[in-house]
Structure 1
Amino acid sequence: MMDGDASPATKSDWREELRQLGASEGFYEELGDKHTALHIKRGSTLIVTFENLDHVFEDGEGKMPWGFDFVTKRGWSMLGLMAHDWTWYRDEDVYAFFDRLKSEGFFDSFERVVFYGASMGGYAAAAFSAACPGATVVAISPQATLSRTDASWETRYRKAWKRDFSTRYGYAPDMVQSAEKVFLFYDPFAPLDAMHAALFRGDNVVKLRCRYFGHRIASMWIRLGILKPIVEQSIAGTLTEPVFYKMLRARREDARFQREMLERLEKKDRPWLVAMYCDAVLGRRGGPKFRQAMRAARKKMSH
Protein backbone atom coordinates (compact mmCIF):
# COMPACT_ATOMS: atom_id res chain seq x y z
CA MET A 1 0.00 0.00 0.00
CA MET A 2 2.70 2.47 0.93
CA ASP A 3 5.15 1.53 -1.82
CA GLY A 4 2.81 1.13 -4.76
CA ASP A 5 1.59 -2.33 -3.75
CA ALA A 6 -1.97 -3.38 -4.46
CA SER A 7 -4.49 -1.89 -2.09
CA PRO A 8 -5.96 -4.23 0.54
CA ALA A 9 -9.03 -6.14 -0.62
CA THR A 10 -11.10 -5.64 2.52
CA LYS A 11 -11.41 -3.10 5.30
CA SER A 12 -10.04 -5.65 7.78
CA ASP A 13 -6.95 -6.14 5.59
CA TRP A 14 -6.57 -2.39 5.30
CA ARG A 15 -6.88 -1.84 9.04
CA GLU A 16 -4.24 -4.50 9.61
CA GLU A 17 -1.88 -2.55 7.34
CA LEU A 18 -2.62 0.63 9.27
CA ARG A 19 -1.93 -1.28 12.49
CA GLN A 20 1.43 -2.45 11.17
CA LEU A 21 2.30 1.04 9.95
CA GLY A 22 1.45 2.50 13.34
CA ALA A 23 3.50 -0.13 15.14
CA SER A 24 6.56 0.67 13.04
CA GLU A 25 6.30 4.47 12.91
CA GLY A 26 4.17 5.60 15.84
CA PHE A 27 1.03 3.88 17.07
CA TYR A 28 -2.37 2.65 15.94
CA GLU A 29 -5.31 2.42 18.33
CA GLU A 30 -8.92 1.38 18.00
CA LEU A 31 -11.00 3.61 20.24
CA GLY A 32 -13.99 1.40 20.94
CA ASP A 33 -15.80 0.12 17.86
CA LYS A 34 -16.44 3.46 16.16
CA HIS A 35 -13.11 5.29 15.99
CA THR A 36 -9.48 4.71 15.08
CA ALA A 37 -6.28 6.69 15.66
CA LEU A 38 -3.09 6.45 13.60
CA HIS A 39 0.06 8.31 14.66
CA ILE A 40 3.10 8.71 12.42
CA LYS A 41 6.09 10.27 14.17
CA ARG A 42 8.30 12.45 12.00
CA GLY A 43 9.18 16.06 12.75
CA SER A 44 8.44 18.62 15.45
CA THR A 45 5.16 19.81 13.86
CA LEU A 46 2.12 17.62 14.51
CA ILE A 47 -0.99 17.74 12.33
CA VAL A 48 -4.10 16.23 13.93
CA THR A 49 -6.77 15.36 11.34
CA PHE A 50 -10.35 14.11 11.62
CA GLU A 51 -12.41 12.29 9.01
CA ASN A 52 -14.74 9.40 8.21
CA LEU A 53 -12.75 6.14 8.05
CA ASP A 54 -15.09 4.47 5.56
CA HIS A 55 -14.66 7.38 3.17
CA VAL A 56 -10.89 7.03 3.46
CA PHE A 57 -11.12 3.38 2.46
CA GLU A 58 -13.57 3.95 -0.39
CA ASP A 59 -12.29 7.21 -1.79
CA GLY A 60 -8.91 7.94 -0.27
CA GLU A 61 -5.95 8.20 -2.59
CA GLY A 62 -3.61 5.44 -1.45
CA LYS A 63 -6.17 4.45 1.21
CA MET A 64 -4.55 6.71 3.77
CA PRO A 65 -6.01 9.36 6.10
CA TRP A 66 -6.41 12.84 4.66
CA GLY A 67 -3.16 14.53 3.85
CA PHE A 68 -0.91 11.58 4.75
CA ASP A 69 1.46 12.24 1.85
CA PHE A 70 1.00 16.01 2.12
CA VAL A 71 1.97 15.92 5.81
CA THR A 72 4.71 13.30 5.88
CA LYS A 73 6.50 14.55 2.76
CA ARG A 74 7.02 17.84 4.59
CA GLY A 75 8.61 16.04 7.50
CA TRP A 76 5.67 16.69 9.81
CA SER A 77 4.21 14.22 12.25
CA MET A 78 0.58 13.17 11.96
CA LEU A 79 -2.22 11.98 14.19
CA GLY A 80 -5.15 10.87 12.06
CA LEU A 81 -8.49 10.29 13.82
CA MET A 82 -11.01 8.33 11.77
CA ALA A 83 -14.69 7.67 12.50
CA HIS A 84 -16.57 4.60 11.28
CA ASP A 85 -19.86 6.49 11.15
CA TRP A 86 -21.28 10.00 11.31
CA THR A 87 -20.53 10.18 15.02
CA TRP A 88 -19.16 13.73 15.27
CA TYR A 89 -16.61 11.98 17.54
CA ARG A 90 -19.07 12.16 20.43
CA ASP A 91 -17.80 9.06 22.19
CA GLU A 92 -16.34 8.46 25.66
CA ASP A 93 -13.49 6.44 24.16
CA VAL A 94 -12.42 9.45 22.10
CA TYR A 95 -12.66 11.78 25.10
CA ALA A 96 -10.55 9.38 27.15
CA PHE A 97 -7.99 9.14 24.35
CA PHE A 98 -7.44 12.91 24.25
CA ASP A 99 -7.50 13.14 28.05
CA ARG A 100 -4.71 10.55 28.14
CA LEU A 101 -2.63 12.28 25.46
CA LYS A 102 -2.89 15.52 27.41
CA SER A 103 -2.05 14.00 30.78
CA GLU A 104 0.90 12.03 29.36
CA GLY A 105 2.36 15.15 27.75
CA PHE A 106 2.08 13.74 24.24
CA PHE A 107 1.48 17.16 22.66
CA ASP A 108 4.31 18.73 24.67
CA SER A 109 6.86 16.81 22.60
CA PHE A 110 6.00 18.91 19.53
CA GLU A 111 6.93 22.51 18.85
CA ARG A 112 3.74 23.15 16.90
CA VAL A 113 0.38 21.34 16.94
CA VAL A 114 -2.36 21.96 14.38
CA PHE A 115 -5.89 20.51 14.50
CA TYR A 116 -7.42 20.25 11.03
CA GLY A 117 -10.83 19.15 9.73
CA ALA A 118 -13.81 19.95 7.51
CA SER A 119 -17.52 19.78 8.40
CA MET A 120 -17.79 16.99 11.02
CA GLY A 121 -13.99 16.96 11.09
CA GLY A 122 -13.99 20.73 11.47
CA TYR A 123 -16.21 20.43 14.52
CA ALA A 124 -13.89 17.78 15.99
CA ALA A 125 -10.75 19.79 15.23
CA ALA A 126 -12.19 22.73 17.13
CA ALA A 127 -13.61 20.68 20.00
CA PHE A 128 -10.58 18.51 20.73
CA SER A 129 -8.07 21.32 20.36
CA ALA A 130 -8.92 21.98 24.02
CA ALA A 131 -6.67 19.02 24.85
CA CYS A 132 -3.70 21.04 23.59
CA PRO A 133 -3.81 24.68 24.72
CA GLY A 134 -1.83 26.89 22.36
CA ALA A 135 -2.56 24.79 19.27
CA THR A 136 -3.63 26.17 15.89
CA VAL A 137 -7.05 25.15 14.55
CA VAL A 138 -7.91 24.96 10.84
CA ALA A 139 -11.67 24.36 10.55
CA ILE A 140 -13.51 24.34 7.22
CA SER A 141 -17.32 24.67 7.34
CA PRO A 142 -17.38 23.44 10.96
CA GLN A 143 -20.41 22.94 13.15
CA ALA A 144 -20.38 24.59 16.57
CA THR A 145 -22.67 21.91 18.02
CA LEU A 146 -25.57 19.72 16.97
CA SER A 147 -27.32 20.10 20.30
CA ARG A 148 -31.04 20.50 19.74
CA THR A 149 -31.04 23.05 22.56
CA ASP A 150 -28.28 25.27 21.19
CA ALA A 151 -28.75 24.66 17.46
CA SER A 152 -32.39 23.75 16.92
CA TRP A 153 -32.16 25.60 13.61
CA GLU A 154 -29.71 23.01 12.24
CA THR A 155 -31.80 20.80 9.94
CA ARG A 156 -28.99 18.60 8.59
CA TYR A 157 -27.21 15.62 10.14
CA ARG A 158 -30.31 14.09 11.68
CA LYS A 159 -28.36 10.90 12.35
CA ALA A 160 -26.28 12.69 14.99
CA TRP A 161 -29.01 14.71 16.66
CA LYS A 162 -29.36 12.29 19.57
CA ARG A 163 -25.69 12.41 20.46
CA ASP A 164 -24.73 14.29 23.60
CA PHE A 165 -22.96 17.58 22.89
CA SER A 166 -23.22 18.85 26.47
CA THR A 167 -20.38 16.84 28.03
CA ARG A 168 -16.58 17.10 27.67
CA TYR A 169 -15.25 18.55 24.43
CA GLY A 170 -18.84 19.38 23.55
CA TYR A 171 -19.44 22.99 22.53
CA ALA A 172 -16.75 23.79 19.97
CA PRO A 173 -16.76 27.62 20.34
CA ASP A 174 -15.86 27.23 24.01
CA MET A 175 -13.22 24.60 23.30
CA VAL A 176 -11.17 26.87 20.99
CA GLN A 177 -10.74 29.59 23.59
CA SER A 178 -7.35 28.16 24.60
CA ALA A 179 -6.10 27.87 20.99
CA GLU A 180 -3.40 30.24 19.79
CA LYS A 181 -5.21 30.89 16.53
CA VAL A 182 -8.33 29.55 14.82
CA PHE A 183 -8.67 29.80 11.04
CA LEU A 184 -12.35 29.31 10.28
CA PHE A 185 -13.37 29.06 6.63
CA TYR A 186 -17.04 29.25 5.64
CA ASP A 187 -19.48 30.49 3.01
CA PRO A 188 -21.50 33.42 4.42
CA PHE A 189 -24.18 32.72 1.80
CA ALA A 190 -24.68 29.16 3.08
CA PRO A 191 -27.12 30.10 5.88
CA LEU A 192 -26.60 27.16 8.25
CA ASP A 193 -22.81 27.23 7.94
CA ALA A 194 -22.88 30.98 8.53
CA MET A 195 -24.96 30.52 11.69
CA HIS A 196 -22.45 28.03 13.07
CA ALA A 197 -19.57 30.36 12.20
CA ALA A 198 -21.28 33.23 14.04
CA LEU A 199 -21.09 31.24 17.28
CA PHE A 200 -17.28 31.23 17.19
CA ARG A 201 -16.01 34.40 18.79
CA GLY A 202 -12.76 35.66 20.24
CA ASP A 203 -9.63 37.56 19.36
CA ASN A 204 -7.94 34.31 18.33
CA VAL A 205 -10.60 33.48 15.71
CA VAL A 206 -9.85 34.51 12.12
CA LYS A 207 -12.94 34.09 9.94
CA LEU A 208 -12.24 33.79 6.24
CA ARG A 209 -15.25 33.99 3.95
CA CYS A 210 -15.49 31.78 0.88
CA ARG A 211 -18.44 33.42 -0.84
CA TYR A 212 -20.52 31.17 -3.09
CA PHE A 213 -18.39 28.10 -2.37
CA GLY A 214 -21.14 26.23 -0.52
CA HIS A 215 -20.43 23.67 2.18
CA ARG A 216 -17.74 21.67 0.39
CA ILE A 217 -15.14 24.39 0.32
CA ALA A 218 -12.07 22.12 0.25
CA SER A 219 -13.23 20.35 -2.91
CA MET A 220 -13.40 23.71 -4.70
CA TRP A 221 -9.95 24.63 -3.38
CA ILE A 222 -8.65 21.39 -4.89
CA ARG A 223 -10.22 22.29 -8.26
CA LEU A 224 -8.59 25.71 -8.12
CA GLY A 225 -5.19 24.32 -7.08
CA ILE A 226 -5.07 26.41 -3.91
CA LEU A 227 -5.71 23.82 -1.17
CA LYS A 228 -2.04 23.19 -0.40
CA PRO A 229 -0.90 26.82 -0.10
CA ILE A 230 -3.92 27.69 2.05
CA VAL A 231 -3.33 24.76 4.39
CA GLU A 232 0.44 25.31 4.46
CA GLN A 233 0.08 28.96 5.41
CA SER A 234 -2.62 28.17 7.95
CA ILE A 235 -0.38 25.57 9.57
CA ALA A 236 2.49 28.04 9.65
CA GLY A 237 0.15 30.66 11.11
CA THR A 238 1.11 33.13 8.37
CA LEU A 239 -2.09 33.21 6.30
CA THR A 240 -3.44 36.76 5.96
CA GLU A 241 -6.76 37.94 4.59
CA PRO A 242 -5.27 39.80 1.60
CA VAL A 243 -3.24 36.74 0.55
CA PHE A 244 -6.19 34.42 1.04
CA TYR A 245 -8.67 36.50 -0.93
CA LYS A 246 -6.11 36.95 -3.71
CA MET A 247 -5.90 33.14 -4.00
CA LEU A 248 -9.69 32.91 -4.13
CA ARG A 249 -9.73 35.01 -7.29
CA ALA A 250 -8.87 31.83 -9.19
CA ARG A 251 -12.55 30.87 -8.86
CA ARG A 252 -13.45 33.44 -11.51
CA GLU A 253 -11.91 31.22 -14.17
CA ASP A 254 -13.36 27.92 -12.94
CA ALA A 255 -16.12 26.53 -15.17
CA ARG A 256 -18.02 24.89 -12.29
CA PHE A 257 -17.99 28.08 -10.26
CA GLN A 258 -19.14 30.08 -13.27
CA ARG A 259 -22.08 27.73 -13.92
CA GLU A 260 -23.13 27.79 -10.27
CA MET A 261 -22.89 31.57 -10.16
CA LEU A 262 -25.07 31.83 -13.26
CA GLU A 263 -27.69 29.60 -11.62
CA ARG A 264 -27.69 31.79 -8.50
CA LEU A 265 -28.17 34.97 -10.51
CA GLU A 266 -30.97 33.43 -12.59
CA LYS A 267 -32.80 32.36 -9.42
CA LYS A 268 -32.68 35.96 -8.18
CA ASP A 269 -34.49 37.00 -11.39
CA ARG A 270 -32.20 39.94 -12.05
CA PRO A 271 -31.70 39.84 -15.82
CA TRP A 272 -29.35 42.81 -15.89
CA LEU A 273 -26.97 41.01 -13.50
CA VAL A 274 -27.22 37.82 -15.56
CA ALA A 275 -26.40 39.74 -18.73
CA MET A 276 -23.42 41.48 -17.13
CA TYR A 277 -22.05 38.23 -15.73
CA CYS A 278 -22.47 36.33 -19.01
CA ASP A 279 -20.78 39.14 -20.87
CA ALA A 280 -17.81 38.96 -18.47
CA VAL A 281 -17.49 35.18 -18.83
CA LEU A 282 -17.83 35.26 -22.61
CA GLY A 283 -15.13 37.90 -22.73
CA ARG A 284 -12.69 35.28 -21.42
CA ARG A 285 -13.95 32.08 -23.04
CA GLY A 286 -16.65 30.56 -25.19
CA GLY A 287 -19.78 29.08 -23.72
CA PRO A 288 -23.12 28.26 -25.38
CA LYS A 289 -24.88 28.17 -22.00
CA PHE A 290 -23.78 31.71 -21.22
CA ARG A 291 -24.65 33.03 -24.68
CA GLN A 292 -28.12 31.53 -24.35
CA ALA A 293 -28.57 32.95 -20.85
CA MET A 294 -27.43 36.40 -22.00
CA ARG A 295 -29.92 36.42 -24.87
CA ALA A 296 -32.72 35.38 -22.52
CA ALA A 297 -31.74 38.06 -20.00
CA ARG A 298 -31.64 40.80 -22.62
CA LYS A 299 -35.02 39.70 -23.92
CA LYS A 300 -36.46 40.06 -20.40
CA MET A 301 -34.90 43.49 -20.04
CA SER A 302 -36.45 44.70 -23.29
CA HIS A 303 -40.00 43.87 -22.17
Structure 2
Amino acid sequence: MKLIYADSDIDVYFRDSNGNAAAITFSNWTRVEPKPLWTDETSKFAAFHVVAKRNHWYQCEGALSAAKLIGDATLRFERIVTLGSSMGGFAAIALAPAIGATRCVAISPQFSSDRTKTPFETRWAEDIAEIAKHGLRIDRSSSITHVLFDPYHRQDASHAALIREAAGAQLWPLKFSGHPSGFALHDLNLMELFIETALSELDDASLFENITRQYEERSRTSATAILNNFKHGDRSYIPTSRDEPIFGNQKVIEQVLALVK
Protein backbone atom coordinates (compact mmCIF):
# COMPACT_ATOMS: atom_id res chain seq x y z
CA MET A 1 0.00 0.00 0.00
CA LYS A 2 1.10 3.52 -0.77
CA LEU A 3 0.55 6.52 1.50
CA ILE A 4 -1.19 9.13 -0.66
CA TYR A 5 -2.37 11.65 1.96
CA ALA A 6 -1.24 12.60 5.45
CA ASP A 7 -1.92 15.37 7.93
CA SER A 8 -2.06 15.63 11.71
CA ASP A 9 -5.44 13.85 11.87
CA ILE A 10 -5.73 11.52 8.86
CA ASP A 11 -3.65 9.13 6.76
CA VAL A 12 -4.88 7.63 3.48
CA TYR A 13 -3.33 4.54 1.95
CA PHE A 14 -4.03 3.24 -1.56
CA ARG A 15 -3.67 -0.18 -3.15
CA ASP A 16 -4.57 -0.42 -6.83
CA SER A 17 -6.15 -3.41 -8.55
CA ASN A 18 -7.82 -4.32 -11.80
CA GLY A 19 -11.58 -4.12 -11.83
CA ASN A 20 -14.35 -1.57 -11.80
CA ALA A 21 -15.00 -1.41 -8.05
CA ALA A 22 -13.17 0.50 -5.32
CA ALA A 23 -13.47 0.08 -1.57
CA ILE A 24 -12.93 3.03 0.77
CA THR A 25 -12.54 1.95 4.39
CA PHE A 26 -12.50 4.12 7.51
CA SER A 27 -10.72 3.03 10.66
CA ASN A 28 -12.65 2.53 13.88
CA TRP A 29 -12.28 3.81 17.44
CA THR A 30 -9.25 2.31 19.13
CA ARG A 31 -7.05 2.61 22.20
CA VAL A 32 -4.06 1.09 20.41
CA GLU A 33 -2.11 2.17 17.33
CA PRO A 34 -4.66 2.97 14.59
CA LYS A 35 -4.34 0.97 11.41
CA PRO A 36 -6.11 0.47 8.08
CA LEU A 37 -9.36 -1.48 8.31
CA TRP A 38 -10.09 -4.74 6.45
CA THR A 39 -6.94 -4.76 4.29
CA ASP A 40 -7.05 -8.53 3.79
CA GLU A 41 -10.78 -8.68 3.05
CA THR A 42 -10.53 -5.94 0.41
CA SER A 43 -7.41 -7.37 -1.27
CA LYS A 44 -9.32 -8.34 -4.43
CA PHE A 45 -10.31 -4.73 -5.05
CA ALA A 46 -8.71 -1.34 -5.44
CA ALA A 47 -8.82 0.10 -1.94
CA PHE A 48 -8.39 3.41 -0.17
CA HIS A 49 -7.83 2.98 3.56
CA VAL A 50 -8.53 6.09 5.64
CA VAL A 51 -6.91 5.98 9.07
CA ALA A 52 -7.91 8.34 11.88
CA LYS A 53 -4.88 9.15 14.00
CA ARG A 54 -7.12 10.04 16.94
CA ASN A 55 -10.65 9.14 18.01
CA HIS A 56 -12.07 12.34 16.53
CA TRP A 57 -15.06 10.82 14.69
CA TYR A 58 -13.62 12.40 11.53
CA GLN A 59 -14.68 15.84 12.78
CA CYS A 60 -11.62 17.51 11.27
CA GLU A 61 -10.66 19.41 8.14
CA GLY A 62 -8.46 16.56 7.01
CA ALA A 63 -11.46 14.27 6.61
CA LEU A 64 -13.00 16.47 3.92
CA SER A 65 -9.63 17.00 2.24
CA ALA A 66 -9.07 13.25 2.14
CA ALA A 67 -12.61 12.70 0.83
CA LYS A 68 -12.02 15.14 -2.04
CA LEU A 69 -8.75 13.43 -2.94
CA ILE A 70 -10.42 10.02 -2.92
CA GLY A 71 -13.37 11.33 -4.92
CA ASP A 72 -11.05 12.59 -7.65
CA ALA A 73 -9.07 9.33 -7.64
CA THR A 74 -12.14 7.09 -7.96
CA LEU A 75 -13.69 8.67 -11.05
CA ARG A 76 -12.56 5.71 -13.18
CA PHE A 77 -14.54 3.19 -11.11
CA GLU A 78 -18.15 2.16 -11.71
CA ARG A 79 -18.81 1.10 -8.10
CA ILE A 80 -17.41 3.19 -5.27
CA VAL A 81 -18.24 1.76 -1.85
CA THR A 82 -17.47 3.32 1.51
CA LEU A 83 -17.14 0.91 4.43
CA GLY A 84 -16.61 1.28 8.15
CA SER A 85 -17.38 0.00 11.61
CA SER A 86 -18.56 2.01 14.62
CA MET A 87 -16.74 5.40 14.39
CA GLY A 88 -15.59 4.38 10.91
CA GLY A 89 -19.16 3.46 10.04
CA PHE A 90 -20.27 6.99 10.83
CA ALA A 91 -17.55 8.32 8.49
CA ALA A 92 -18.48 5.84 5.75
CA ILE A 93 -22.00 7.28 5.67
CA ALA A 94 -21.26 10.94 6.41
CA LEU A 95 -18.40 11.25 3.88
CA ALA A 96 -20.04 9.19 1.12
CA PRO A 97 -21.49 12.30 -0.63
CA ALA A 98 -18.13 14.11 -0.63
CA ILE A 99 -16.46 11.05 -2.15
CA GLY A 100 -19.23 10.39 -4.64
CA ALA A 101 -19.82 6.87 -3.36
CA THR A 102 -22.44 4.79 -5.11
CA ARG A 103 -23.02 2.71 -1.97
CA CYS A 104 -22.06 2.96 1.69
CA VAL A 105 -22.02 0.07 4.13
CA ALA A 106 -21.64 0.55 7.87
CA ILE A 107 -21.42 -1.92 10.73
CA SER A 108 -22.78 -0.63 14.06
CA PRO A 109 -22.33 3.08 13.19
CA GLN A 110 -23.23 6.11 15.26
CA PHE A 111 -25.70 8.65 13.92
CA SER A 112 -23.77 11.57 15.36
CA SER A 113 -20.87 12.39 17.67
CA ASP A 114 -22.97 15.25 19.05
CA ARG A 115 -24.52 14.13 22.34
CA THR A 116 -27.32 16.71 22.02
CA LYS A 117 -28.55 14.68 19.02
CA THR A 118 -27.98 11.29 20.66
CA PRO A 119 -28.68 11.76 24.39
CA PHE A 120 -28.98 8.00 24.84
CA GLU A 121 -25.28 7.55 24.01
CA THR A 122 -22.93 7.24 27.00
CA ARG A 123 -19.90 5.51 25.47
CA TRP A 124 -16.57 7.17 24.53
CA ALA A 125 -17.37 10.24 26.66
CA GLU A 126 -13.71 11.27 27.08
CA ASP A 127 -13.04 11.28 23.33
CA ILE A 128 -16.33 12.95 22.45
CA ALA A 129 -15.64 15.74 24.95
CA GLU A 130 -12.49 16.69 23.03
CA ILE A 131 -14.38 17.33 19.76
CA ALA A 132 -14.75 21.10 19.37
CA LYS A 133 -17.22 21.11 16.48
CA HIS A 134 -19.54 18.43 15.14
CA GLY A 135 -19.75 19.76 11.59
CA LEU A 136 -19.73 16.42 9.78
CA ARG A 137 -23.17 14.86 9.87
CA ILE A 138 -25.30 12.21 8.23
CA ASP A 139 -27.84 13.44 5.68
CA ARG A 140 -29.71 11.88 2.80
CA SER A 141 -27.55 11.58 -0.31
CA SER A 142 -27.43 9.80 -3.65
CA SER A 143 -25.43 6.98 -2.03
CA ILE A 144 -27.45 3.92 -1.09
CA THR A 145 -26.84 3.23 2.58
CA HIS A 146 -26.79 -0.12 4.38
CA VAL A 147 -26.43 -0.60 8.14
CA LEU A 148 -25.69 -3.93 9.83
CA PHE A 149 -26.29 -3.89 13.59
CA ASP A 150 -27.51 -5.79 16.64
CA PRO A 151 -31.19 -4.97 17.24
CA TYR A 152 -30.80 -6.12 20.87
CA HIS A 153 -28.05 -3.55 21.50
CA ARG A 154 -30.10 -0.60 22.73
CA GLN A 155 -27.73 2.21 21.75
CA ASP A 156 -26.76 0.75 18.37
CA ALA A 157 -30.40 0.11 17.52
CA SER A 158 -31.24 3.72 18.39
CA HIS A 159 -28.44 4.98 16.14
CA ALA A 160 -29.61 2.73 13.31
CA ALA A 161 -33.16 4.07 13.56
CA LEU A 162 -31.91 7.67 13.35
CA ILE A 163 -29.71 6.83 10.35
CA ARG A 164 -32.65 5.21 8.58
CA GLU A 165 -34.73 8.34 9.19
CA ALA A 166 -32.01 10.77 8.08
CA ALA A 167 -30.38 8.86 5.23
CA GLY A 168 -33.02 6.36 4.14
CA ALA A 169 -30.72 3.53 5.18
CA GLN A 170 -31.63 -0.09 4.70
CA LEU A 171 -31.21 -1.91 8.02
CA TRP A 172 -29.86 -5.46 8.34
CA PRO A 173 -30.29 -6.78 11.91
CA LEU A 174 -27.86 -9.40 13.23
CA LYS A 175 -29.35 -10.65 16.48
CA PHE A 176 -26.97 -10.76 19.48
CA SER A 177 -23.99 -9.74 17.34
CA GLY A 178 -23.08 -7.00 19.86
CA HIS A 179 -20.89 -3.98 19.24
CA PRO A 180 -19.53 -3.92 16.73
CA SER A 181 -21.39 -6.64 14.85
CA GLY A 182 -18.26 -7.40 12.85
CA PHE A 183 -16.91 -9.53 15.71
CA ALA A 184 -19.72 -12.03 15.28
CA LEU A 185 -19.27 -12.03 11.50
CA HIS A 186 -15.57 -12.73 12.05
CA ASP A 187 -16.46 -15.64 14.35
CA LEU A 188 -18.40 -17.26 11.51
CA ASN A 189 -15.80 -16.47 8.82
CA LEU A 190 -18.27 -14.20 7.03
CA MET A 191 -16.19 -11.04 6.74
CA GLU A 192 -14.68 -11.78 3.34
CA LEU A 193 -18.13 -12.61 1.96
CA PHE A 194 -19.43 -9.41 3.57
CA ILE A 195 -16.84 -7.30 1.72
CA GLU A 196 -17.37 -9.12 -1.57
CA THR A 197 -21.11 -8.59 -1.23
CA ALA A 198 -20.69 -4.91 -0.44
CA LEU A 199 -18.57 -4.42 -3.58
CA SER A 200 -20.77 -6.59 -5.79
CA GLU A 201 -23.29 -5.71 -8.47
CA LEU A 202 -26.11 -7.33 -6.51
CA ASP A 203 -29.36 -5.42 -6.20
CA ASP A 204 -29.42 -3.20 -3.12
CA ALA A 205 -32.89 -4.29 -2.09
CA SER A 206 -31.62 -7.80 -1.35
CA LEU A 207 -27.91 -7.07 -0.95
CA PHE A 208 -27.23 -8.68 2.42
CA GLU A 209 -29.98 -11.29 2.46
CA ASN A 210 -27.43 -14.09 2.08
CA ILE A 211 -25.24 -12.70 4.88
CA THR A 212 -28.15 -12.26 7.28
CA ARG A 213 -29.51 -15.71 6.44
CA GLN A 214 -26.15 -17.41 7.01
CA TYR A 215 -25.68 -15.47 10.21
CA GLU A 216 -29.12 -16.46 11.50
CA GLU A 217 -28.50 -20.12 10.67
CA ARG A 218 -25.08 -20.22 12.33
CA SER A 219 -25.18 -17.55 15.04
CA ARG A 220 -25.61 -20.10 17.83
CA THR A 221 -22.04 -21.23 17.11
CA SER A 222 -20.59 -17.70 17.36
CA ALA A 223 -18.87 -17.18 20.72
CA THR A 224 -19.71 -13.47 20.49
CA ALA A 225 -23.42 -14.10 19.87
CA ILE A 226 -23.63 -16.76 22.59
CA LEU A 227 -22.12 -14.43 25.18
CA ASN A 228 -24.33 -11.49 24.13
CA ASN A 229 -27.38 -13.74 24.29
CA PHE A 230 -26.45 -14.64 27.86
CA LYS A 231 -25.85 -10.97 28.78
CA HIS A 232 -29.41 -10.24 27.66
CA GLY A 233 -30.70 -12.70 30.26
CA ASP A 234 -31.26 -15.53 27.82
CA ARG A 235 -29.49 -18.90 27.99
CA SER A 236 -30.94 -20.34 24.77
CA TYR A 237 -27.67 -19.96 22.83
CA ILE A 238 -25.49 -21.61 25.47
CA PRO A 239 -24.30 -25.04 24.29
CA THR A 240 -25.62 -28.04 26.19
CA SER A 241 -22.24 -29.74 25.89
CA ARG A 242 -18.62 -28.56 25.82
CA ASP A 243 -18.22 -30.70 22.69
CA GLU A 244 -20.53 -28.54 20.58
CA PRO A 245 -18.73 -26.38 17.98
CA ILE A 246 -18.03 -22.78 19.00
CA PHE A 247 -16.17 -20.34 16.77
CA GLY A 248 -14.45 -17.07 17.59
CA ASN A 249 -11.81 -15.47 19.76
CA GLN A 250 -10.29 -18.01 22.15
CA LYS A 251 -10.81 -15.82 25.23
CA VAL A 252 -14.47 -15.38 24.37
CA ILE A 253 -14.84 -19.11 23.72
CA GLU A 254 -13.42 -19.79 27.19
CA GLN A 255 -16.00 -17.41 28.67
CA VAL A 256 -18.75 -19.31 26.87
CA LEU A 257 -17.45 -22.71 28.01
CA ALA A 258 -17.50 -21.47 31.61
CA LEU A 259 -21.28 -21.08 31.23
CA VAL A 260 -21.84 -24.65 30.04
CA LYS A 261 -23.36 -26.77 32.78
Q: TM-score, normalised by structure 2?
A: 0.80
Aligned to 1:6: none
RMSD between aligned residues: 2.9
* C-alpha displacement of 1:283: 7.4
Aligned to 1:251: 219
Q: Distance in 1 between matches of 2:63 and 2:221?
A: 42
Q: Distance in 2 between matches of 1:120 and 1:288?
A: 32
* C-alpha displacement of 1:36: 0.7
Q: Could you list the per-position Cα deviations for residues 6-25 of structure 1 after superposition, in whole angstroms to 9, with x for gaps in the alignment?
A: xxxxxxxxxxxxxxx52xxx
Q: In the superposition, relative to structure 1, how do residues 30 and 133 fare at CA in structure 2: closer, same or farther (>3 Å)?
A: closer
* C-alpha displacement of 1:210: 1.1
**What is the DSSP-based 3-state SS (H/G/I as helix, E as strand, rest coil) of the residue aligned with 2:27?**
strand
Q: Distance in 2 between matches of 1:214 and 1:225?
A: 16
Higher helix share: 1
Aligned to 2:41: 70
4+ runs of 1 displaced by more than 6 Å?
53-56
> Unpaired segments of 5 or more residues in structure 1?
1-20, 59-63, 267-273, 292-303
C-alpha contact 1:50 1:117 (8 A) present in aligned 2:
yes
Q: How many residues align?
A: 242
In structure 2, which of residues 121, 127, 132 is the aligned counterpart of residue 154 of structure 1? 121
> Unpaired segments of 5 or more residues in structure 2?
245-256
Q: Distance in 1 between matches of 2:119 and 2:223?
A: 36
**What is the DSSP-based 3-state SS (H/G/I as helix, E as strand, rest coil) of the residue aligned with 1:282?**
coil
Q: Distance in 2 between matches of 1:115 and 1:108?
A: 14
Q: Could you list the per-position Cα deviations for residues 267-291 of structure 1 after superposition, in whole angstroms to 9, with x for gaps in the alignment?
A: xxxxxxx5xx37x842795678443
In structure 2, which of residues 139, 142, 160 is the aligned counterpart of residue 178 of structure 1? 142
Q: In the superposition, relative to structure 1, how do residues 51 and 111 fare at CA in structure 2: closer, same or farther (>3 Å)?
A: same
Q: Distance in 2 between matches of 1:223 and 1:130?
A: 32
C-alpha contact 1:187 1:215 (8 A) present in aligned 2:
yes
C-alpha contact 1:147 1:164 (8 A) present in aligned 2:
no
1:12-161 alignment to 2 at 5 Å? 21-22=1-2, 27-31=3-7, 33-43=8-18, 44-51=20-27, 57=33, 65-72=36-43, 74=44, 76-102=45-71, 105-158=72-125, 159-161=127-129
In the alignment, residue 37 of structure 1 is paired with which amino acid? V
* C-alpha displacement of 1:78: 1.0
Q: Could you list the per-position Cα deviations for residues 26-47 of structure 1 after superposition, in whole angstroms to 9, with x for gaps in the alignment?
A: x52212x121111222233211
* C-alpha displacement of 1:222: 0.8
Q: Distance in 2 between matches of 1:137 and 1:201?
A: 13
Q: Distance in 2 between matches of 1:53 and 1:193?
A: 15
Q: Could you list the per-position Cα deviations for residues 190-232 of structure 1 after superposition, in whole angstroms to 9, with x for gaps in the alignment?
A: 1111111111236862200011111121111111111111221
**What is the DSSP-based 3-state SS (H/G/I as helix, E as strand, rest coil) of the residue aligned with 1:154?**
coil
1:232-247 alignment to 2 at 5 Å? 232-238=196-202, 240=207, 242-247=209-214
1:262 aligns with 2:233: no
User: Which has the greater radius of gyration?
Assistant: 1
Q: TM-score, normalised by structure 1?
A: 0.70
C-alpha contact 1:35 1:81 (8 A) present in aligned 2:
yes
**What is the DSSP-based 3-state SS (H/G/I as helix, E as strand, rest coil) of the residue aligned with 2:88?**
helix
C-alpha contact 2:13 2:48 (8 A) present in aligned 1:
yes
C-alpha contact 1:56 1:65 (8 A) present in aligned 2:
no
* C-alpha displacement of 1:255: 4.3
* C-alpha displacement of 1:57: 4.9
Q: Distance in 2 between matches of 1:288 and 1:166?
A: 43
1:201 aligns with 2:167: no
Q: Distance in 2 between matches of 1:166 and 1:289?
A: 43
* C-alpha displacement of 1:183: 1.6
Aligned to 1:14: none
1 or 2 for the larger relative contact order (CA 8 Å, sep ≥6)?
2
Q: Distance in 2 between matches of 1:288 and 1:121?
A: 33
